[in-house]
Structures are given as structure tokens and as C-alpha cells.
């Protein structure tokens, strides 16, 4: 329904991956190799899907992933998604490239809550500029507005080669801006971001020239573990979560540098096309972390069974991005609520049929992997 309602280039902006879109396809298809090993004769008359993440209780082990410029998808954009999250007790991460001011989105946490539950946690996603000092203002705004965690995206030293965006650049229509970014001032002519212009560079020299002209306005390609984490710790008391961890080596370093959580993510298949799927990367990451910090997964989660499999394989929480946008495009806040009502019913039903009464009982012994050769299912 979203595909029918949205302009073709806007739908493709959200739906597409990079290059041949192999990583995008792997994210969803890899779940098919996993099957659930159901247990029976267990009283599953009362299923509890709630979970605690970083000290906050959520109605489901599902949060809404950050995605840019949500007013392009429809309705009231970020406000519709935020209101749905609050009403349903769901964690939300706001993109720094949102078309609604972060303060306005945060204000929704105090309204519309059901059953007198505490407001769900809201997190703020950020890219650091080459001159990290230019990011301090946004970080302080997010902290002052009550966001509990800062999500640093670490997998974008450059943007992936997104062919759909190169064919038709996405620009904001008149009257729509990016109020969280200092650079988002009215322009005489709408144009793609500097980072997207870099995708069209025809040579290394042209790319470097564009970087030189842009200076500190580009996403940083020089972040390092020691320097970057120390900088963030010096400017905020918010929890720090790194988004874009895909290896055990980096997961181990995240624990060593005392970040508060990591997100196993390949940017929805929009960055390195030869990256593995996130569910395939998850066991290695979870083994490296050994429950020292929360491990969150995004990418390819399209139903309640995929949520179950992610938790069983070692994730503490999952984030869902594109389905929320499709709900927004379909019917604003009501459409977003519809998507997550479907997710809740699917997860609840899957848990009951698998013989698990709460999220804590979704453990590795509940899933198996279908043999690539021969016949049968192997326990993990």
C-alpha cells in the first residue's frame, strides 16, 4: 500500500539498498535458515512480551529504528511515529536528520500513554561531523529534551552506493527542513546533501575536491575508538550506543571502551553490499559481548517469528525500520499502530506456540538451523 501511495523515488529511497542490493536481500532471507523448536504441555495462557532495556520497561522487545526525513513518507512524519510509540509503550530512536525538531518529538512522551505506564524510552541517533565540536550543540539539545541514550552511527565514513538516489536525488520540498541540523538553513535552491553528492563523484580526485570544499560539514571518516568515545563521554551523560557493529572484534572493543550498548546493523543493506546479514553476524557478536552490554539487532526483521529468532540467537532487543515507514505512508499514526499491533500478535502467538511464556524464556535451545546439505535440523 505504501508503494502505491508514495512517489516512486521516495519509495525507492526508503526501500532500496546499495549496489546490487545483496545485503538488503540477505537480511530478510537469512532468517529462513532458522527454524523454531517448539516445546509443548506448557501453560502459555498468559504471555508476557514486555522487556527492560537500559533501565526502562517496554511493552515489547521491539523498538522503532531511526530513519531520515519521515514527513516524506506521509502524515505528520516523526510525530505520528512518536505518538504511536508512546501509545503502545515502544522504544523510539529519532534520526538526527528528522523533519521534526527533536524537542517536539520528545514532547509526545508525556501524552497519550495507555494504562498509566511510564513513558517509553526515546533515544537520539547522530552522525558526527569531521569537526566534532559542531555536533556538541545537537547532543546537548537531545540531553536537555530528555532523550535517554545517544545512538552514534559508526558505519558511514562514506555513504554506500545507492543507485536509486543517484538516479533521482531526494530533496526536501519547499517548507520542509531538517530542524535538528545547524546546516539546515533555507537555501535558494533545493539540492541533495553533500554526503549524497559525494556518491556521484567520478574519480578519487573529484571526491577529494568535494570533501575539501565541504570541510567540517561532511560526516566524519576519521572516528576512532579512543578519541570518539572519550569525546562523547566528555560532552554528555546520556547512555552511548554504537550502531553498525558487525563483527566480534568490534563488539569486544565496544565492551572494552565501556559503551552502554551496541546495535548489530548493516544500515538496512544501504552501505556495504557484501556485508553479511545482521542475523548471521549476531552469534559472533553475542559471543564476544557475553552479556556485558545489551546487544540490539536491526535489519530484515519483518514479522514476530523473526523477532523470536533474533532473541533466541542472542539479541536482547530488536529495532524495526521500514515497516514503520510503510505504516506511516498508509495511514499516519493509525498505520504505524497497525504495523506494531500485527508485530505484537505475531510475537505473542509465536511465543505461545513455541512454549515460551516470557521473553526471558526465548533461549538458544528454542531454535535450530536447517541443514544446508543432507537432511535435518541442527541445534545451535
- Binding residues for FMN are 66-68, 95, 125, 153, 243, 265, 298-302, 321-322
d(CA 22, CA 273): 6
Catalytic residue list contains 267: yes
- Binding site feature residues: 66-68, 95, 125, 127, 153, 162, 243, 265, 267, 270, 298-302, 321-322
Query: Is the CA virtual torsion 298, 299, 305, 308 positive or negative?
Result: negative
The three cell numbers of residue 59 are: 511493552
Q: Any idea how long the chain is?
A: 380
d(CA 379, CA 319): 26
- 111, 219, 267, 373: the catalytic one is 267
CA angle 250, 256, 259 (to 5 degrees): 80
Beta strands in 112-258 (DSSP E): 122-126, 149-153, 239-245
* CA proximity to 192, closest of 215, 233, 162: 162
d(CA 204, CA 257): 34
d(CA 300, CA 323): 10
Map grid coordinates 545489551 to a residue.
294
- For the annotated catalytic residues, the residue numbers are 267
Amino acid at each position: 500500500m505504501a508503494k502505491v501511495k508514495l512517489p516512486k523515488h521516495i519509495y525507492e529511497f526508503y526501500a532500496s539498498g546499495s549496489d546490487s542490493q545483496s545485503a538488503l536481500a540477505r537480511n530478510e532471507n537469512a532468517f529462513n535458515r532458522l527454524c523454531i523448536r517448539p516445546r509443548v504441555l506448557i501453560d502459555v495462557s498468559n504471555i508476557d512480551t514486555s522487556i527492560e532495556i537500559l533501565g526502562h520497561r517496554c511493552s515489547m522487545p521491539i523498538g522503532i529504528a531511526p530513519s531520515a526525513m519521515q514527513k516524506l513518507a506521509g502524515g505528520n512524519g516523526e510525530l505520528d511515529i512518536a505518538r504511536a510509540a508512546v501509545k503502545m509503550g515502544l522504544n523510539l530512536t529519532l534520526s538526527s536528520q528528522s523533519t521534526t525538531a527533536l524537542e517536539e518529538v520528545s514532547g509526545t512522551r508525556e501524552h497519550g500513554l495507555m494504562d498509566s505506564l511510564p513513558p517509553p524510552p526515546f533515544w537520539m541517533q547522530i552522525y558526527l561531523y569531521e569537526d566534532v565540536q559542531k555536533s556538541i550543540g545537537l547532543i546537548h539539545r537531545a540531553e536537555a529534551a530528555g532523550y535517554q541514550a545517544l545512538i552514534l552511527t559508526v558505519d558511514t565514513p562514506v555513504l554506500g552506493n545507492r543507485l536509486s538516489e543517484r538516479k533521482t536525488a531526494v530533496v526536501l520540498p519547499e517548507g520542509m527542513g531538517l530542524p535538528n541540523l545547524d546546516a539546515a538553513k533555507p537555501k535558494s535552491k533545493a539540492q541533495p546533501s553533500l554526503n549524497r553528492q559525494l556518491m556521484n563523484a567520478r574519480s578519487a580526485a573529484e571526491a577529494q575536491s568535494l570533501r575539501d570544499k565541504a570541510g567540517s560539514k561532511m560526516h566524519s571518516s576519521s572516528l576512532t575508538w579512543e578519541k570518539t568515545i572519550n569525546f562523547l563521554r566528555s560532552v554528555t551523560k546520556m547512555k552511548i550506543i554504537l550502531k553498525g557493529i558487525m563483527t566480534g572484534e568490534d563488539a569486544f572493543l565496544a565492551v572494552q571502551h565501556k559503551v552502554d550498548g551496541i546495535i548489530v546493523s548493516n544500515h538496512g543493506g544501504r552501505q556495504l553490499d557484501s556485508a553479511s546479514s545482521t542475523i548471521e553476524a549476531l552469534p559472533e557478536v553475542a559471543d564476544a559481548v557475553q552479556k556485558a552490554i545489551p546487544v540490539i539487532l536491526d535489519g530484515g526483521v519483518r514479522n514476530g517469528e523473526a523477532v523470536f529468532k533474533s532473541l533466541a540467537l542472542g539479541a536482547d532487543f530488536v529495532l524495526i525500520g521500514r515497516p514503520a515507514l510503510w505504516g506511516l505512508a498508509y495511514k499516519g499514526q493509525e498505520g504505524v499502530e497497525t504495523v506494531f499491533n500485527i508485530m505484537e500478535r505475531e510475537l505473542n502467538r509465536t511465543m505461545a506456540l513455541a512454549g515460551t511464556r516470557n521473553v526471558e524464556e526465548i533461549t538458544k535451545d528454542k531454535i535450530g538451523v536447517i541443514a544446508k546439505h543432507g537432511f535435518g535440523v541442527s541445534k545451535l
